[in-house]
């Protein structure tokens, strides 16, 4: 059984013009100890999906359908109070922008030590010492001094390490990293990713790595799920996805990666993510798709298993497979 | 890095104080106004030491005398030394608005934080109540309240606080709407903090700078309202004395020419209110990060 399983997760945001389907019938799973990349362009619903797992979607957003099972237990059925004990303890989040995710008026130590008090019930002094250890473990130099500093006194990379230390404070089973390297320069980003990978294998925590950078995925993840306009279009192991992308969107994504070893013109993907307001019942890639069939406009393709570790939601792929068979 | 070098770096947060002091010095108006307030506070605290006479000691021999070397600011109908009376009155004139402002600040911040963070029907209800209170001119509301409650010192503090509370509620609610969408608010929720802790520990401290500015400006306003109440006979009553009440008493002598009886208490009110307003203005610029280093 996988650690986390989302089935048919659908999230709506109420607007004056009607509901916006930010996430539509997403089926996703993460195995224990696995690093799963969640990729897609801006507005594809990656972050909303991640926040749904923690049930941090706030009005006007609402989870309308589906289930989120952590070790078989449906998180959507928990009370708010029970959910609070899951957040930070069993599932934790590494937020997108580490600098603004640290409270500007509380010292780093005040924030990290608090977690040990909250989730481990440690007294203040012991919690503080655990905080120093936690910073040490993620490679923050001069941890005791950093504990007494504020976010504005730290560099971006150090802020991100602090966030990672905080996310790991309670040895969670699942870590959700929401574009953890966006604000960082390349060398720091690489070190942060190394750290995540190493911590993942050391603590056995599963990681959902949200990113729009396929390079990061190739380097870090075991498995990838691709989202487009709120729908999950393809899910496969990293090797499979890069070698045999099936869904037209994934193929276009892979083609759009700049290559230094080959002289190939970059191919941008035509169009942009369609409006999710009153979205059509069919596949949302249809307006940008080169392989579209008539059925694509009417019916949402289900996520079909085409290989033990490869699932694709595309009518065209299904049709061509049927033709071969 | 050596230990001494480390400690030199780690004293950086503390070294902000001298820097703030320097910036304050370069703004003569704010600095002057702040000096006035500090001097007034000292005067109020040290009143028994520095007042030349007992403020309540009457002396018919020197009644209604103008400023002289003996009585610098003259004497009143009963021959009481006006300067001593003004010095002692400074105590009530500072403590009452200060208590009222503090009370309004704490209550307003809590209600405003709740309103802004929770939103929904509770927010709507609180905001409509705030609007209802703000619809009255502050002085009229204060007059009505003291008339209804009676004008003991405690009630005057309560009255001044009630007229101020809606302003803080609005201010903090607005700030709360801003900070609750911040990423650190999201992060605080994501680690499983209970809502009360998110509001009080994580969000409220981030709303404080505008609150300080508002409180300083409100101090002046509260003092003015109290003086006005006393002037109208609804505030502090004799034998307690207060500048507004002294001005009112002095005003009876306006036609007979004893000008010192209303001019000096009035000046005291004016200077103090002005000082608080100028400090409030100065703080607003001071706490606004965009203004840093402009001067």
Give the C-alpha separation, B235 to B96, whole Å: 11
Structural domain total, chain A? 1
Residue A68, domain member (yes or no): yes
CB nearest A88 (choices: B182, B184, B190) = B190
Give the C-alpha separation, B42 to B44, whole Å: 5
Residue B165, domain member (yes or no): yes
Contacts for A107 with CB less than 8 Å, ≥ 6 apart: A147, A148, A149, A150
Residue A109, domain member (yes or no): no
> What is the ipTM for the molecules in this complex?
0.77
Which is nearest to B139 in space by CA: B35, B225, B59? B225
Residue of A nearest to B9 (CA): A145
CATH (domain of B176): 1.10.3720.10
- Give B-chain residues touching A101 at CB under 8 angstroms: 183-184, 186-187
Residue A124, domain member (yes or no): no
- The pTM for the full model equals 0.77
Residue B113, domain member (yes or no): yes
Residue A25, domain member (yes or no): yes
Residue B266, domain member (yes or no): yes
- Give A-chain residues touching B188 at CB under 8 angstroms: 103
Residue B103, domain member (yes or no): yes
Could you read off the pLDDT tens digit of each residue along chain A, which spans 325 residues? Answer: 588 988 889 998 988 888 888 888 888 889 888 999 999 888 888 889 989 999 988 888 888 888 899 888 888 888 888 898 888 889 999 888 888 888 888 889 889 998 888 888 889 889 999 999 889 888 888 889 999 888 888 888 888 889 888 888 888 899 999 888 877 788 888 888 888 888 888 888 899 999 888 888 888 899 999 998 888 889 999 888 888 888 888 888 888 877 777 777 777 777 777 777 766 778 888 888 888 888 888 888 888 888 888 898 888 888 888 888 7
Residue of A nearest to B195 (CA): A84
Residue B153, domain member (yes or no): yes
Domain residue limits at A22: 4-102+154-324
Domain residue limits at B142: 28-53+70-291
Residue B14, domain member (yes or no): no
- Give B-chain residues touching A54 at CB under 8 angstroms: 190
Which is nearest to A127 in space by CA: A143, A112, A116, A138? A116
Residue A270, domain member (yes or no): yes
Contact B231, B244 (CB under 8 A): yes
Length of chain A: 325
Residue A170, domain member (yes or no): yes
Q: How many CB atoms lie within 10 A of CB B185?
A: 22
CATH (domain of A75): 3.40.50.300
- Under DSSP, the state recorded for A173 is S
Are the Cβ atoms of A106 and B201 closer than 8 angstroms? yes
Using the Cβ of B183 and the Cβ atoms of chain A, whether some distance falls under 8 Å is answered with: yes
Structural domain total, chain B? 1
Are the Cβ atoms of A118 and B205 closer than 8 angstroms? no
Tell the residue number behind the tokens 């969670």, with chain if given.
A172
- Residue B188 to chain A, least CA–CA distance (Å): 9
Surface-to-core class of residue B127, CB atoms within 10 Å of its CB (0-12 exposed, 13-18 middle, 19+ buried): middle
Give the up-direction half-sphere exposure of residue B234: CA atoms within 13 A in the CB hemisphere: 20
Residue B49, domain member (yes or no): yes
Residue A223, domain member (yes or no): yes
What are the start-end ranges of the H helices in chain B? Answer: 3-10, 16-25, 28-45, 47-50, 82-118, 120-134, 138-149, 153-179, 183-190, 195-197, 208-231, 243-251, 260-287
Residue A206, domain member (yes or no): yes
Q: How many CB atoms lie within 10 A of CB A45?
A: 25
């Amino acid at each position: 059984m996988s650690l986390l399983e989302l089935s048919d997760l659908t999230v709506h945001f109420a607007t004056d013009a009607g509901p916006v389907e930010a996430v539509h019938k997403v089926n996703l799973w993460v195995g224990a100890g696995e690093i799963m990349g969640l990729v897609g362009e801006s507005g594809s619903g990656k972050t909303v999906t991640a926040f749904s797992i923690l049930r941090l979607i706030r009005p006007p957003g609402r989870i309308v359908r589906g289930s989120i099972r952590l070790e078989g237990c449906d998180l959507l059925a928990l009370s708010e109070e029970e959910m609070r004990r899951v957040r930070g303890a069993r599932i934790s989040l590494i937020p997108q922008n580490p600098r603004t995710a640290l409270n500007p008026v509380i010292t780093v130590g005040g924030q990290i030590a608090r977690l040990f008090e909250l989730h481990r019930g440690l007294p203040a002094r012991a919690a503080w010492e655990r905080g120093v250890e936690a910073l040490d473990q993620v490679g923050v130099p001069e941890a005791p001094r950093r504990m007494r500093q504020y976010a504005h006194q730290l560099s971006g990379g150090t802020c991100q390490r602090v966030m990672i230390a905080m996310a790991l404070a309670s040895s969670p089973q699942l870590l959700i990293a929401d574009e953890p390297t966006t604000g960082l320069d390349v060398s720091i980003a690489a070190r942060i990713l190394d750290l995540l990978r190493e911590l993942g294998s050391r603590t056995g925590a599963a990681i959902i790595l949200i990113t729009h950078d396929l390079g990061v995925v190739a380097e870090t993840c075991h498995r990838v799920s691709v989202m487009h306009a709120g729908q999950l279009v393809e899910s496969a192991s990293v090797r499979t996805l890069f070698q045999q992308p099936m869904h037209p969107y994934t193929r276009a994504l892979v083609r759009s990666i700049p290559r230094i070893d080959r002289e190939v013109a970059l191919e941008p993907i035509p169009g942009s993510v369609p409006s999710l307001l009153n979205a059509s019942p069919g596949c949302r890639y249809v307006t940008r798709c080169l392989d579209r069939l008539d059925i694509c406009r009417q019916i949402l393709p289900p996520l079909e298993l085409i290989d033990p570790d490869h699932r694709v939601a595309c009518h065209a792929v299904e049709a061509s497979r049927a033709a071969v068979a | 890095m050596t230990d001494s070098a480390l400690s030199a770096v780690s004293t950086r947060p503390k070294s902000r104080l001298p820097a703030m002091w320097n910036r304050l010095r370069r703004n003569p108006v704010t600095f002057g106004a702040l000096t006035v307030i500090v001097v007034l506070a000292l005067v109020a605290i040290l009143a028994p030491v520095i007042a030349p006479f007992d403020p309540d000691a009457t002396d018919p021999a020197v009644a209604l005398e103008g400023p002289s070397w003996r009585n610098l600011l003259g004497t009143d109908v009963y021959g009481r030394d006006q300067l001593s009376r003004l010095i002692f009155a400074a105590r009530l004139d500072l403590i009452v608005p200060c208590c009222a402002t503090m009370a309004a600040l704490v209550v307003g911040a809590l209600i405003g934080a709740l309103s802004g963070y929770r939103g929904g029907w509770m927010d709507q209800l609180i905001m409509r109540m705030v609007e209802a209170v703000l619809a009255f001119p502050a002085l009229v509301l204060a007059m009505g309240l003291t008339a209804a409650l009676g004008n003991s010192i405690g009630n005057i503090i309560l009255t001044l606080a009630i007229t101020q509370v809606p302003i803080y509620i609005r201010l903090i609610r607005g700030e709360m709407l801003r900070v609750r969408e911040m990423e650190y608010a999201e992060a605080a929720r994501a680690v499983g903090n209970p809502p009360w802790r998110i509001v009080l520990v994580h969000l409220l401290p981030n709303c404080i700078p505008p609150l300080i500015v508002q409180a300083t400006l409100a101090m002046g306003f509260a003092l003015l309202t109290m003086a006005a109440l006393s002037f109208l006979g609804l505030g502090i009553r004799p034998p307690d004395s207060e500048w507004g009440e002294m001005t009112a008493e002095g005003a009876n002598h306006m036609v007979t020419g004893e000008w010192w009886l209303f001019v000096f208490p009035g000046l005291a009110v004016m200077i103090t209110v002005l000082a608080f307003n100028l400090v409030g203005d100065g703080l607003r610029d001071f706490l606004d990060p965009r203004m840093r280093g402009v001067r």
